[in-house]
């Protein structure tokens, strides 16, 4: 009975696929929380651009708590991202 031979190429291909899948799963999560004194509205919104070329914007919003507190989590693509709190 012959056992199938495993080549170095197939092992490297397997590791490459696993590494690529792990990288796709890894995201930078921003956790933003704070308190707004004398709020002008009952919610806050965060806006940022995911591409400076196409100016594709992402928006995330949440309602303020009764005392003006808020908490928000969202993924970003780049490690350095400029956010606009509205």
Model confidence pLDDT, tens digit, residues 10-43: 444 444 434 333 444 456 888 988 999 988 999 9
- Residues 78, 74: Cα–Cα separation, whole Å: 12
Residue position matching structure tokens 């696929």: 17
- Residues 37, 5: Cα–Cα separation, whole Å: 68
Alpha-helix runs per DSSP H in the chain: 8-25
Whether this prediction's pTM lies above 0.75 is answered by no
Residue closest to 57 by CA, chosen among 73, 81, 33, 34 = 81
């Amino acid at each position: 009975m012959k056992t199938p031979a495993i080549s170095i190429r197939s092992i490297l291909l397997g590791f490459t696929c696993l590494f690529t899948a792990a990288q796709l799963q890894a995201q930078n999560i921003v956790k933003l929380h704070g308190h707004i004194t004398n709020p002008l509205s009952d919610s806050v919104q965060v806006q940022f651009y995911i591409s400076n070329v196409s100016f594709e914007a992402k928006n995330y919003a949440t309602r303020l708590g009764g005392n003006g507190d808020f908490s928000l989590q969202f993924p970003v693509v780049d490690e350095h991202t400029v956010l606009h709190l509205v």
